[in-house]
Structure 1
Amino acid sequence: MIPARPEFVPDPTLSREEMETLQRDIAHAARFEDEFAFDPAAVSTAETTLVPQEERPLVAGVDQAFLDEKAVSAVVVARGPEIVERASAVTDLSIPYIPGLLSFREGGPILDAFENLETDPDFVVFDGSGRIHFRQAGLATHMGVVLDVPSVGVAKGLLCGTPRESVDERPEGWRTAIEANDRVDAPDGTVIGYAFQSRQYASSRKINPLYVSPGHRVSAATTVDLVERLCDSYKLPEPTRLADAYADEVKRDYTA
């Protein structure tokens, strides 16, 4: 799978100002509305569902592991519970981590893994932010626009924006909108994603919510619905959980 918008491929040699300008251009090119061919009700990783296996969309999970100054990027594509393809790449990292500019450090390595992928997924789940970003162009938005694929970002922490309600000690399935504030290049109150409590337990109400936001070609509300359908028995959606495990496997094999 190769970039559909090569002009947006992250270039780590750009200055910070140039990177931020490119992110604003990417946010302008991104479509934060539903634009995909699959039925959202067919998205599931469960073994048993009313939707026949052959009618389920191909869903890819993306995650990375790190080894010194290398990124181990992993993409796992599944149709329902069946893994269809896995691809990976081990790539040198060019720049250090800079808050808000993660895609310029890790985006190129992720695209290297996608280049080794023969399957064209219908939908991609990234471990990172999408529209919940200072310039509305987190990793999931940047990669989603470059590949022109429906995508979503699932982050473990909140980068920016304000939850509409307190996120503390919420029950499983609860959600609240994340609204733009003065740290986001969007009008105040714009819904840029959701806090979503994917798992909670009666014995200990200390599990934090996920922060789910559109990458590209998916609306905020649909984004959190899709992620909910992909959180099978774990806090994290199954596609990125599988990608995380595969990245660790590739890392072990690389160092063996």
Structure 2
Amino acid sequence: MRVFVGRYRSSYEFVSRKTTQDYSASGRKDGGVKKNSYSEKMAHKRPNTLDEGKEEYKPPDPVLEAIKLRWESEQRNLQGKISLEDDRIVKEMLSSSSSDTFYIGGMDISFFEGDNVNACAALVVCSYPDLEVVYEDYKMIELTQPYIPGFLAFREIEFMKMLYENVREKNPKYTPQVIMVDGNGILHPRGLGSASHLGVILNVPCVGVAKNLFCMENEIERDEQHKEQVASLKKAGDTFPLVGSSSGICYGKALRSCEKATNPVYVSPGHGISVDSAVELVYRCSKYRVPQPIRHADLNSREYIRVRAQVKAIEVTCVTALHQLCVVFSQRLIMY
């Protein structure tokens, strides 16, 4: 049975969490510099402009700085609650003796082109191990929290939580036992990417799967060594660890998820799962480069946005035509 929720409706239903003016400039994925106290030191050394030599220095926005300090405190609190031990359900899913059917959710948020506020939040649940889509939910949302590098989860987490609560209340059978997030887990300056943030809040095993390497200065970098390691991934299932240059922490692994994939995905555990189990689960869920739950959420949310844009264009055209007819009719009444 396949359950569809909120797909291709003709009217716009925006879900909003309005708490502050949107100061965002751009961006999607978790950003930042390095982990813990090092990140704070580097933040003071780094200029507040994109190019110190070309742009005049501008002091930090006091509102954004206050928000950032509050969010940093919340991240430190949540980071202390992360578990990188395999949850019982993870062990059962990966057990060769298990014949049960499990459910894995994929979450992604897609944006309208040129718009970093209005978006579509998607949850797609696949059965495991056969990877059939059993549940889908798509919601139009409005992100009103500011975008600050390293704090992406604070823009998106409420909508992800809403999607999870929807399936748990309306179709509890398909409540995902593990969630894969298009983003990062502990591969983050303060060890709390979107997958970790969501996992701790929901107390559900979560895995971060990113298409691009998230770099942290002097810790995780896309240098020549990294390029050589990527080139060493010869067959599906090959991996190499993402180890911090200065900390020695293993943040996750780069994985060649299928034979046809020339570029790896970057897997980092979020919560309730170990590095090795996160990589193994992503590999088992990958028919293509991106694991099926996230792949469906990504592709379908983009299609959802495309259809919504078309519907909106038709609505605008109809309203314009109706207005023109009213004007003509009014003119004729005046003539008579």
Normalising to structure 2: TM-score of the pair? 0.62
1:4 matched residue in structure 2: none
**Distance apart, 1:36 and its partner CA:** 2.8
Cα deviation 1:74-110 (Å, max 9, x = unaligned): 0011113322211122111113432211111222222
**Structure 1 residues without counterparts, runs of 5 or longer:** 1-9, 44-49, 183-187
Output the amino acid matched with 1:210. Answer: V
Instruction: Return the match for 1:156 from 194, 208, 211.
Output: 211
**Distance apart, 1:176 and its partner CA:** 1.2
Matched, 1:105 2:159: no
More strand by share: 1
Cα deviation 1:83-138 (Å, max 9, x = unaligned): 22111221111134322111112222222322322332111111000010011100
Structure 2 distance, partners of 1:108, 1:132, is 21
Is the 1:87–1:114 contact (alpha carbons within 8 Å) kept by the matching residues of 2?
A: no
Structure 1 distance, partners of 2:132, 2:265, is 25
Is the 1:12–1:105 contact (alpha carbons within 8 Å) kept by the matching residues of 2?
A: no
Output the amino acid matched with 1:16. Answer: K
1:235 matched residue in structure 2: 289
Instruction: Return the match for 1:58 from 100, 103, 114.
Output: 103
Quickly say closer, same or farther: Cα 1:74–1:210, change in 2 above 3 A. same
1:168 matched residue in structure 2: 230
Quickly say closer, same or farther: Cα 1:102–1:148, change in 2 above 3 A. same
Over aligned residue pairs, what C-alpha RMSD do you find?
Answer: 2.5
Give SS of 1:167's match: helix
Matched, 1:35 2:87: yes
**Distance apart, 1:32 and its partner CA:** 1.2
2:308 matched residue in structure 1: 254
163-172 or 217-226, larger mean C-alpha shift = 163-172
Structure 2 distance, partners of 1:157, 1:208, is 9
Structure 1 distance, partners of 2:178, 2:194, is 15
Task: Using the aligned pairs only, state the percent identity.
Answer: 32
**Distance apart, 1:147 and its partner CA:** 1.1
More helix by share: 2
Quickly say closer, same or farther: Cα 1:236–1:178, change in 2 above 3 A. same
1:185 matched residue in structure 2: none
5 Å matches for 1:113-192? 113-117=163-167, 118=171, 119-159=174-214, 160=216, 161-162=219-220, 166-169=228-231, 170-172=233-235, 173-182=237-246, 188-192=247-251
Give SS of 1:116's match: helix
Is the 2:122–2:136 contact (alpha carbons within 8 Å) kept by the matching residues of 1?
A: yes
Cα deviation 1:209-250 (Å, max 9, x = unaligned): 111001110001111111111112x11101100111221232
1:245 matched residue in structure 2: 299
Matched, 1:24 2:76: yes
Give SS of 1:158's match: coil
Aligned length: 229
Output the amino acid matched with 1:40. Answer: M
Matched, 1:85 2:135: yes
Structure 2 distance, partners of 1:217, 1:136, is 14
5 Å matches for 1:67-82? 67=112, 68=115, 69-79=117-127, 80-82=130-132
Quickly say closer, same or farther: Cα 1:26–1:240, change in 2 above 3 A. same
Quickly say closer, same or farther: Cα 1:181–1:101, change in 2 above 3 A. farther
2:5 matched residue in structure 1: none
Output the amino acid matched with 2:243. Answer: E
Is the 2:18–2:144 contact (alpha carbons within 8 Å) kept by the matching residues of 1?
A: no
**Distance apart, 1:199 and its partner CA:** 3.4
Give SS of 1:157's match: coil
Structure 1 distance, partners of 2:77, 2:183, is 19
Output the amino acid matched with 1:246. Answer: N
Q: Which structure: larger Rg?
A: 2
2:31 matched residue in structure 1: none
Quickly say closer, same or farther: Cα 1:247–1:179, change in 2 above 3 A. same
Output the amino acid matched with 1:76. Answer: V
Give SS of 2:140's match: strand
1:7 matched residue in structure 2: none
**Distance apart, 1:197 and its partner CA:** 1.6
